[in-house]
A and B are shown apart, each in its own frame.
Chain A
Amino acid sequence: MSITASALPDTAAVPPAPQGGAAARRGPVIPLRYVVGRLVGAAVSMLAVVFTGFFLFRVVPGDPVRSLTRGRAMTNAQLATLRHQFGIDKPLISQFGDYTSRIVRGDLGTSYQYKTSVSSLIGSHVWATVYLVGTATLISAFLGLRIGVRSAWRNGSRSDRANTGIALVLWSMPTFWLALIMIMVFSVGFGPIPGMFPTGGMSSPNVHGLFPVIWDHFRHLVLPCLTLVAVLYAQYLLTMRATLLEEVGSDYLTTARAKGLREDDVRRKHAVPNSMLPAVTLVFLNLGTAVSGSILAETIFSWPGLGSLFYEALTVPDQPLLEGLFIFFSAAVIVMNLLAELLYPILDPRVRTS
């Protein structure tokens, strides 16, 4: 499921060619103006994110001091000390001053609840997320593109319809629901299916030795990864299928066929490489959003990544941590977008050759 709420990628949502495409046509070198423009754009986005991050989470209701001390008999003096420690006894404008001067120095602040620097919290949780999301993206891209090519080539066939149908059904599933069903069926066992995978977490304590540790990690990875693959691969499949369909009717393919090339070769040597790029670009673009998109899967599978960290921070609200994660999530997308935008004109063979 796309919690990113963007419409299902299809013909219309093929990554747009950069506006600098016209300029790029002059030669393989990307004009400096284009590069600078993109860099400035990314910087502006980043600046806007930093500002939004602050105000968005200051208007989120809830008093962190109250929720952290909930259920404990605290003296008013203790509460005042906490408020002072967090710096939330100051007026909003001077809190904003503190925030910006911190961010400028590259300091994301200290988490209210964990009393640890936000950057070290992100640092210690980011690998779990990259590991899960990275694996899921690789597999879903591989599956999606592969099936997408086949589907487009056999457009309208029974296998095309079956594949597209399955992908659409999986794409329509709420991630959290699919995740819980996965646990019910494959973790606990349901009917004749034995419960073969752990219910949550990334690894077990008390596992020693290289091979057992790898095996243990792999077992923990299977269910969350499968869940993400199930909801992610549809968009790669559909994008690949759509771009290739556009390609299939092209004149040069007809020429290639006329030259007597085998159908497989036409596909492999001409059509697929040309339609690969938009899909690969999409993989890049999605990688950024997938980081924040795994919040639900991480929560349900108790995966110790950034998503769980965010979910916990929200209930407090642990503002420095929320701001830090928000900036991090957004920066991930900005950087991936930038990479895609910069790489696209270099790699697209049509842009280069025409």
Chain B
Amino acid sequence: MIADFRRRRAGMVGLGFLVLTALVALAAPLFISANDLSAAFAPGLPRRAPSGHFLLGTDAYGRSMVDVTIWGARISLTVGVLATLLAVGIGALVGVVAGHFGGWTDTVLMRVTDWFLVLPVLVLATALASVLTPGVGTVVVAIGVTAWPTTARVVRAQTLSVESRPYIERAKALGGGHWHVMRVHILPNVMPLMLAQATLTVSAAILTEATLAFLGLSDPTKVSWGTTLQLARSVGAFSAGEWWILMPPGVAIVLVALAFTLVGRALEQVLNPRLQERM
């Protein structure tokens, strides 16, 4: 399967880019100090165009856009990944339980899932984010709680197909409890699907994080791509034509979201044999 994945160029490019981004984000504290990111004691003058000293200019506080964009990756990636873990976790739990137990449990859980699918997500996330204390955790919860239904549906479908396989019957006949069957037989079978689903959800989560931050529902003291764009908008950088404040975070969001999507699609193709023949 890994070899399969490696043959998919787009997926590999995406993966490579993500690994690089993650490394840079992790290493950021080594070359960016707290003062570089302080609004009060920023190293440069506010909103200066790119120059030899600040390769991408400075933001509204006078911080280097290079530093801000690199640091933003930390929050944006963290939120994206954590929110996805939460969403896929809830989705997988609901999907596996619904698919395994069937009957009323299935009906009720799927009803709840359908209901969540119906709720306007941005509206729901906005409301959640404003109820809880602002911060990274809140944004994670707001995204996680609203993004799980798709995963639940997909996982349930897969669980149903796994359940119909003969060895599950055998396991049940041999006295395997629900927990045992779900953990030992079903989970490993839906795991790859969850992985594909997760990579696709990350890009959506990163976009939603930016959107919530842009609407002012994130903690503005934390540097993320979303809060950087929100700050740019609130000081009027767009109409002032200060492209160097707008492009780096926006392009970063596009690239990372795209990279996750490419990896997700490649994974899906690897996992879906029917598609595989055709590619």
A–B touch (CB < 8 A): the answer is yes
Listed in ascending order, the chain A residues whose CB lies under 8 Å from chain B are 1-8, 10-13, 16, 41, 44-45, 48-49, 52, 56-57, 59-62, 155-156, 165, 168-169, 171-177, 180-181, 183-184, 188, 242, 245-246, 248-249, 289, 292-293, 295-296, 310, 314, 325-326, 329-330, 333-334, 337
Contact of B118 with A12 in the complex, beta carbons under 8 Å: no
Given A3-B122, A16-B157, A60-B130, residue A45 in contact with residue B278 (CB < 8 A) = no
A sample of 19 cross-chain residue pairs with beta-carbon separation below 8 angstroms, ordered by A number, consists of A1-B257, A6-B150, A6-B204, A7-B264, A8-B265, A12-B197, A41-B111, A41-B114, A49-B119, A60-B131, A156-B279, A171-B261, A172-B203, A173-B250, A174-B254, A246-B274, A249-B278, A292-B121, A325-B123
Name the contact of A155 in the complex, choosing from B111, B205, B278 (C-beta under 8 A).
B278
Interface positions of B from 246 to 279, Cβ below 8 Å from A: 246, 250, 253-255, 257-258, 261-262, 264-265, 268, 272, 274-275, 277-279
Give me 10 other A-B pairs in contact (C-beta within 8 A), A5-B121, A7-B264, A293-B122 excluded: A1-B207, A4-B122, A5-B207, A5-B208, A7-B150, A156-B279, A172-B255, A173-B254, A176-B211, A289-B120
Nearest A residue to B207 via CB reads A1
Is there a chain A Cβ closer than 8 Å to B224's Cβ?
no
Interface positions of B from 208 to 259, Cβ below 8 Å from A: 208, 210-211, 214, 229, 233, 238-239, 241, 243, 246, 250, 253-255, 257-258
Listed in ascending order, the chain B residues whose CB lies under 8 Å from chain A are 10, 111, 114-115, 117-127, 130-131, 143, 146-147, 149-151, 153-154, 157, 193, 196-197, 200-201, 203-205, 207-208, 210-211, 214, 229, 233, 238-239, 241, 243, 246, 250, 253-255, 257-258, 261-262, 264-265, 268, 272, 274-275, 277-279
Task: Determine the chain A residues whose CB is within 8 A of the CB of B233 once the complex forms.
Answer: 180
* Min CB gap A237→B, angstroms: 13
Q: Is the interface of B mostly helix, strand, loop or mixed?
A: helix
Contact of B118 with A334 in the complex, beta carbons under 8 Å: yes
* Min CB gap A44→B, angstroms: 6
A165 to B146, CA, bound (A): 28
Task: Determine the chain A residues whose CB is within 8 A of the CB of B153 once the complex forms.
Answer: 16
Contact of B201 with A4 in the complex, beta carbons under 8 Å: no
Task: Determine the chain B residues whose CB is within 8 A of the CB of A310 once the complex forms.
Answer: 123
A270 to B54, CA, bound (A): 59
Nearest A residue to B149 via CB reads A6
Name the contact of B272 in the complex, choosing from A11, A188, A326 (C-beta under 8 A).
A11
Contact of A245 with B275 in the complex, beta carbons under 8 Å: yes
Contact of A59 with B123 in the complex, beta carbons under 8 Å: no
A296 to B126, CA, bound (A): 12
A23 to B40, CA, bound (A): 68
A169 to B264, CA, bound (A): 14
Contact of A245 with B278 in the complex, beta carbons under 8 Å: yes
A175 to B203, CA, bound (A): 14
Contact of A155 with B279 in the complex, beta carbons under 8 Å: yes
A310 to B114, CA, bound (A): 23
Contact of A45 with B115 in the complex, beta carbons under 8 Å: yes
Contact of B229 with A10 in the complex, beta carbons under 8 Å: no
Contact of A11 with B204 in the complex, beta carbons under 8 Å: no
A57 to B115, CA, bound (A): 17
* Min CB gap B148→A, angstroms: 9
* Min CB gap A231→B, angstroms: 10
A12 to B153, CA, bound (A): 10
Given A41-B114, A45-B118, A334-B118, residue A11 in contact with residue B275 (CB < 8 A) = yes
Given A61-B130, A246-B274, residue A3 in contact with residue B254 (CB < 8 A) = no
Q: Determine which residue in B143, B239, B241, B257 has the highest number of CB atoms from chain A within 10 A of its CB, and name it.
A: B257
Q: Determine which residue in A56, A169, A177, A334 has the highest number of CB atoms from chain B within 10 A of its CB, and name it.
A: A177
Name the contact of A10 in the complex, choosing from B124, B130, B157, B200 (C-beta under 8 A).
B200
Name the contact of B204 in the complex, choosing from A5, A176, A246 (C-beta under 8 A).
A5
Contact of B146 with A5 in the complex, beta carbons under 8 Å: yes
Name the contact of B150 in the complex, choosing from A1, A13, A329 (C-beta under 8 A).
A13
A325 to B264, CA, bound (A): 34
* Min CB gap A330→B, angstroms: 5
Nearest A residue to B256 via CB reads A172
Q: Determine which residue in A5, A61, A171, A242 has the highest number of CB atoms from chain B within 10 A of its CB, and name it.
A: A5
Task: Determine the chain A residues whose CB is within 8 A of the CB of B239 once the complex forms.
Answer: 188
Contact of B126 with A2 in the complex, beta carbons under 8 Å: no
Nearest B residue to A8 via CB reads B200
Q: Determine which residue in B204, B229, B239, B250 has the highest number of CB atoms from chain A within 10 A of its CB, and name it.
A: B204
Task: Determine the chain B residues whose CB is within 8 A of the CB of A10 once the complex forms.
Answer: 200, 265, 268
Nearest A residue to B153 via CB reads A16
Contact of B257 with A172 in the complex, beta carbons under 8 Å: yes
Given A7-B200, A8-B264, residue A333 in contact with residue B118 (CB < 8 A) = yes
Name the contact of B254 in the complex, choosing from A165, A172, A314 (C-beta under 8 A).
A172
Task: Determine the chain B residues whose CB is within 8 A of the CB of A168 once the complex forms.
Answer: 258, 261-262
A7 to B278, CA, bound (A): 22
Nearest 4 interchain pairs by C-beta = A292-B120, A7-B200, A172-B257, A329-B120
Given A61-B131, A168-B262, residue A7 in contact with residue B253 (CB < 8 A) = no
